[in-house]
Amino acid sequence: MNAQRFYKNKLALSILYILLISLLIVGCKGNLINRDHQPTAKIKESNHSDLVDETNDITGKLKIHFLDVGQADCILIEEPTGHNMLIDAGNNGDADFIYSYLKEYNIKQLDYAIGTHPHEDHIGSLDMIINNFEVKNVIMPDVPKSTQTFGEVIQAIANKELLNTIVSVGQEFSLGQSKFTILAPNSNEYDDTNDYSIVIKLQYGNNTFVFTGDAETKSEHEMVASGMDLSADLLKVGHHGSGTSTIAEFLYEVNPKYAVISVGTGNKYGHPDDIIMNRLKIHEVEVYRTDEVGTIIASSDGTNITIDKNASVIDVNTAPEEQTKKIEKIEITEIDKKAEYVVISNKSGVDVDLTGWKVVSVNGSQTFIFPSFVLKAGQNVKVAGYGAKNTGDIIWEEGKGIWNNIKDDPGELYDKKGKLIDRY
Ligand SMILES: [Zn+2]
C-alpha cells in the first residue's frame, strides 16, 4: 500500500512538474509573440536613424498637395500604395473645392484626417471630409472650442462613430511606406490656440517633411529644446508665414531645402511677413507660396523631391546673381574702442536678419550674439558695451572693457551658421 502510494505520489509530482514546464514555455512564447506584434503607434524617443534603413522597398511616388485654399491650410498626402492623409481642411467655404479636388485624384479613403488646431481656417471643412470620405482616424489636439465650426466637426466624428485620437510627442504612425512622428505640442496648456498645433514630421525613404500647422514661437522653442531631430527637406511654414512663427533657431534646426507657405492673396494680416521671407532667403530656402502659384504639389521618390512645374519659384531664387549677392553686404563700419561700440552696416538693398549673428572682440575674447533682430536695407546698428559713453541701439552685455584698448583688437562678424562675414 505504502509503496503504491509512493509511486502514485511520484507520478502526480512528475505530471505536475511537466505541466509547470509546459506552462513556462507557452508563457515565454506568448510574450515573444506579443512583443513582435506591438501596435504601429508607439512611444519613441528622438531616434530616426532606424527609419533611414527602410528605403530599399520604396516603390512609387509620394505626392503632397498643398491645396490653394486662400488664407487657410489644406494638405493632402497621397501615398502610392493607396494610403492617404489629410492635414487640415481649409475654411468652411472651401468644402466644395476640397471635395472636388479629392474626387479628381480619386481619393476615397483617408487613413488619417488631422485637424492641427481648432481654428476655422484649419478645420472649416473637416466635417465635410468626415461625412463624405472613409476616414479611419481623426487626430486633433485636446482643445475643445465653443465655435459652431468645432461643433460641426465633433458632430461628424460622432455620426461616423469615430473617436478623436489624442496623440503625444514622439508617437509614430505608419502610412503605407511612409511614417510620421508627432513633434508638437510639447505642453498641455498654452495662451495661444495656435501653439496647440499638432506638428508632424513625415518620412518617405530618405525624404522628410515637417508640417507645422500654426505653431508659434513658444511651440517652436519647445521643439528645438526637446532635442528631437527636426531636420527636413521641406517645411510647411508655420502660421501662413506670420512673423510670430519660424524663429531663426527653429529654421536652423529644420534646415529645409524647400518651404511652402499656404497663404491668401492680399490677406488682412500681411502674411507672409517680410522678416520671415527674408529669413528664408538668408537660409537659402526655395520658397513656394499658394497665393503666388496656387496649388503646389511636391513629389518624392524617396530620394529626390520635385515641385510641380506649374508652381513657380519666388523672386529670391530666380533673381539675377547681383541681387542675391546684395544680401551678403553686411559690414563692420566702425569700432570705437574708447567709447566701446561697434557699428554694423547693411550696405545691401534688402533687409537682413541678423538673429544669431555674432560680433567677436578677437583679443578681448568676448562675443556678442544678436537677439531677434533685422537690419533694414541701407541702415546701421550700433552695438555698445553696457555703461559705454555712447549708448547703442543694442547693449552688448553687462560689464565694461569689451575691446582691448592697448593691443590691436580686431572685430569679427559671423553669420548664424558661423561663417566669417567681415573683419574690422
Ligand atoms: Zn491658420
Tell me how far the alpha carbon of residue 120 lies from the centroid of ligand 1, in angstroms.
8
pLDDT band, residue 12 (cuts 50/70/90): low
Q: Is residue 51 scored above 60 in pLDDT?
A: no
Task: Say which DSSP state 42 is in.
Answer: B
Is the same domain home to 104 and 177? yes
Q: What is the pLDDT of residue 26?
A: 42
Contact 420, 413 (CB under 8 A): yes
Contact 97, 69 (CB under 8 A): yes
Calpha distance 364→282 (Å, rounded): 29
Tell me how far the alpha carbon of residue 93 lies from the centroid of ligand 1, in angstroms.
14
Tell me how far the alpha carbon of residue 236 lies from the centroid of ligand 1, in angstroms.
12
Q: What is the pLDDT of residue 59?
A: 92
Does residue 297 lie within any of the structural domains?
yes
C-alpha cell at 73: 491650410
Tell me how far the alpha carbon of residue 357 lies from the centroid of ligand 1, in angstroms.
30
Q: Is residue 208 scored above 60 in pLDDT?
A: yes
Does residue 127 lie within any of the structural domains?
yes
| pLDDT tens digits, one per residue of 135-171 | 999 999 999 999 999 999 999 999 999 999 999 999 9
Calpha distance 206→223 (Å, rounded): 21
Q: What is the pLDDT of residue 68?
A: 93
Is the same domain home to 82 and 189? yes
Tell me how far the alpha carbon of residue 121 lies from the centroid of ligand 1, in angstroms.
5
User: In one letter, which amino acid is 195?
Assistant: D
Q: What is the pLDDT of residue 393?
A: 77
Does residue 57 lie within any of the structural domains?
yes
Q: What is the pLDDT of residue 34?
A: 31
> What is the rounded average pLDDT for all residues in the chain?
82
Is the same domain home to 204 and 307? yes
The radius of gyration of the chain's CA atoms, rounded to the nearest angstrom, is: 28
pLDDT band, residue 15 (cuts 50/70/90): low
Q: What is the pLDDT of residue 145?
A: 94
C-alpha cell at 30: 506568448
| pLDDT tens digits, one per residue of 82-107 | 999 999 999 999 999 999 999 999 99
Q: What is the pLDDT of residue 252?
A: 96
Is the same domain home to 175 and 287? yes
More confident residue, 395 or 18: 395
Does residue 273 lie within any of the structural domains?
yes
Is the same domain home to 67 and 110? yes
**Locate cell 513657380: which residue?**
312
Calpha distance 339→18 (Å, rounded): 91
- The H or E element containing residue 352 is strand 352-353
Domain-terminating residue out of 273, 294, 318:
318
Is the same domain home to 260 and 397? no
Does residue 126 lie within any of the structural domains?
yes
- The H or E element containing residue 369 is strand 366-369
Q: Is residue 58 scored above 60 in pLDDT?
A: yes
Does residue 64 lie within any of the structural domains?
yes
CATH number at residue 195: 3.60.15.10
Domain-terminating residue out of 254, 284, 318:
318
Q: What is the pLDDT of residue 56?
A: 61
CATH number at residue 354: 2.60.40.1260
20-29, 38-47, 57-66, 221-230: segment of lowest average pLDDT: 38-47
Tell me how far the alpha carbon of residue 331 lies from the centroid of ligand 1, in angstroms.
38
Q: What is the pLDDT of residue 298?
A: 96
Is the same domain home to 79 and 209? yes
Q: How many domains does the chain have?
A: 2
Tell me how far the alpha carbon of residue 114 lies from the centroid of ligand 1, in angstroms.
14
pLDDT band, residue 329 (cuts 50/70/90): confident
| pLDDT tens digits, one per residue of 271-291 | 999 999 999 999 999 999 999
Tell me how far the alpha carbon of residue 214 lies from the centroid of ligand 1, in angstroms.
5
Is the same domain home to 183 and 266? yes
Does residue 391 lie within any of the structural domains?
yes
| pLDDT tens digits, one per residue of 330-361 | 888 888 877 778 899 888 777 788 888 888 88
C-alpha cell at 45: 524617443
Q: What is the pLDDT of residue 5?
A: 55
Q: What is the pLDDT of residue 370?
A: 85
Tell me how far the alpha carbon of residue 416 lies from the centroid of ligand 1, in angstroms.
29
Contact 110, 138 (CB under 8 A): no
Q: What is the pLDDT of residue 180?
A: 98
Calpha distance 388→396 (Å, rounded): 10
| pLDDT tens digits, one per residue of 162-172 | 999 999 999 99
Tell me how far the alpha carbon of residue 288 lies from the centroid of ligand 1, in angstroms.
17
Tell me how far the alpha carbon of residue 244 lies from the centroid of ligand 1, in angstroms.
12
Tell me how far the alpha carbon of residue 418 lies from the centroid of ligand 1, in angstroms.
34
The pLDDT of 192-209, averaged and rounded, is 98
More confident residue, 319 or 61: 61
**Locate cell 536613424: which residue?**
49
Contact 73, 90 (CB under 8 A): yes
pLDDT band, residue 63 (cuts 50/70/90): very high
Tell me how far the alpha carbon of residue 197 lies from the centroid of ligand 1, in angstroms.
10
Distance of alpha carbon 53 from its chain centroid, rounded? 22
pLDDT band, residue 324 (cuts 50/70/90): very low
Is the same domain home to 86 and 207? yes
More confident residue, 296 or 371: 296
For residue 361, the tally of other CB atoms under 10 A from its CB is 23
Does residue 392 lie within any of the structural domains?
yes
The pLDDT of 309-328, averaged and rounded, is 39
CA distances 158 to 116, 154, 161, 166, Å, are 19, 6, 5, 15
| pLDDT tens digits, one per residue of 108-130 | 999 999 999 999 999 999 999 99
Tell me how far the alpha carbon of residue 108 lies from the centroid of ligand 1, in angstroms.
26
Q: Is residue 204 scored above 70 in pLDDT?
A: yes
Domain-terminating residue out of 318, 347, 371:
318
Q: What is the pLDDT of residue 418?
A: 72
Calpha distance 313→152 (Å, rounded): 38
Is the same domain home to 263 and 368? no
Is the same domain home to 306 and 207? yes
Q: What is the pLDDT of residue 320?
A: 35
**DSSP helix/strand/coil, 11:** helix
Regarding pTM above 0.75, the answer is no
Q: What is the pLDDT of residue 49?
A: 40
State the residue range of the domain holding 285. Answer: 49-318
Is the same domain home to 125 and 171? yes
**DSSP helix/strand/coil, 262:** coil
For residue 53, the tally of other CB atoms under 10 A from its CB is 7
Task: Give the dihedral of Cα atoms 361, 367, 373, 375; nearest 10 deg.
Answer: 10
Tell me how far the alpha carbon of residue 241 lies from the centroid of ligand 1, in angstroms.
10
